[in-house]
Chain A
């Protein structure tokens, strides 16, 4: 694997994390528990999608095959997305959304602080810019963890359930492979293994204040749960007007030939609205 390939892959992974989480949060638009939170969640969503845009833009340039940031964001199949499982978990109740955000924000805060010192100027610029926004996200999710955890009996119980359920996905945030090794060696990315203790400490400090506890680690911490992403793609993929199925294997070319690829169900032309 060349340095260029590793960089492309890394950018895509991080962009996918931001995009998927941003879209998950956008599902709250118009459904927030109170107006202020509706606005907060969609603002955070906007920041994340903004981050993703910058990362995809750079990834497209690194790849150099004429693809744009939109191509990378939207014209891939669901299995080709490289996001961590944490970010695609369904919103659940408000407490679950906040818990998912809380685990992610604390990680992202450490990661982007490291990336802001990258030897790659473009990554450093993107990270410096987004770090300022992440600080607000971190504050938001952490304050809510405390308010919900140390709130009523019901809020405590429900948010504790989400902590127990979602904490197993945090393991993956620290996974590394050849891509990371190449870029760490080049001084382009920090070694996230070095952040493990800091991460656990910053999580623990908030959880303690929130009277919440992490579950005991049980070995098989992360199951194969890739099915969730599918729920999101329905938003982007056009549905056939006749058979109502969302089109399998859509590759963007469909817009020009206007034909449903769901041959078995329907092969009638569709309108793209």
Chain B
């Protein structure tokens, strides 16, 4: 069993709240360390501090590896802090196909009264959209609506 094999197994573990993404796409898995012949340590980091999915992710990782007869220890680290930059290119593509707009480059906006970034509609690609709420169905998403096709959609908001 090599480190690459483990990473491949982790590709089967999906985010319980955005099931189209694997924990690898999401950038939640930070490292894979071999501890012994059949023992591995997986280091993960939360997207948001209060993310309720972390326990499920930990259990799912353990369950996946135990299928191969492996014992897993999961360690949660906070630093360096997760950023949407760690979302893989593949993950971004999958998100968009799923109907969630992936994080857009929001530039170096000031916290208050900053310029609003243009968030394209995942359905018709129009940039004529409006923010409905900065807080969406889960901690990592904001809620938008398209002014052209009227589609309400989630935007995977930038966290830097």
Contacts and interface: CB of A to CB of B under 8 A. Distances in A.
Q: What DSSP secondary structure best describes chain B's contact surface?
A: loop
B99 to A, nearest CB: 18
Given A36-B133, A139-B134, A206 B78 contact: no
Contacts of B135: 36, 39-40, 43-44, 136, 140
B139 A46 contact: yes
A47 B143 CA distance: 17
A53 B48 CA distance: 12
A37 interface: yes
A54 B78 contact: yes
Interface residues of A, number: 33
A49 B79 contact: no
Contacts of B82: 129
Contact of B111 (A37, A121, A124, A135): A135
Interface residues of B, number: 26
B50 interface: yes
Contacts of A109: 111
A129 B137 CA distance: 21
Given A46-B139, A50-B51, A136-B135, 19 more contacts: A36-B132, A36-B143, A39-B135, A40-B133, A40-B135, A43-B136, A46-B52, A47-B139, A53-B50, A121-B79, A128-B81, A129-B79, A130-B49, A132-B159, A133-B159, A135-B111, A138-B111, A140-B134, A205-B112
B50 A50 contact: yes
A138 B111 CA distance: 8
Given A40-B133, A43-B139, A125 B79 contact: yes
A133 B48 contact: yes
A129 B111 contact: no
A132 B81 contact: yes
Contact of A48 (B50, B51, B83, B157): B50
A138 B134 CA distance: 11
A24 to B, nearest CB: 15
29 contacts: A36-B132, A36-B143, A39-B137, A40-B134, A40-B135, A44-B135, A46-B50, A46-B139, A47-B50, A50-B50, A54-B78, A109-B111, A121-B79, A124-B79, A125-B79, A128-B78, A128-B81, A129-B46, A129-B49, A129-B81, A129-B82, A132-B83, A138-B111, A138-B112, A139-B112, A140-B135, A202-B112, A205-B112, A206-B112
Interface string A38-66: 01100110111111011000000000000
B67 interface: no
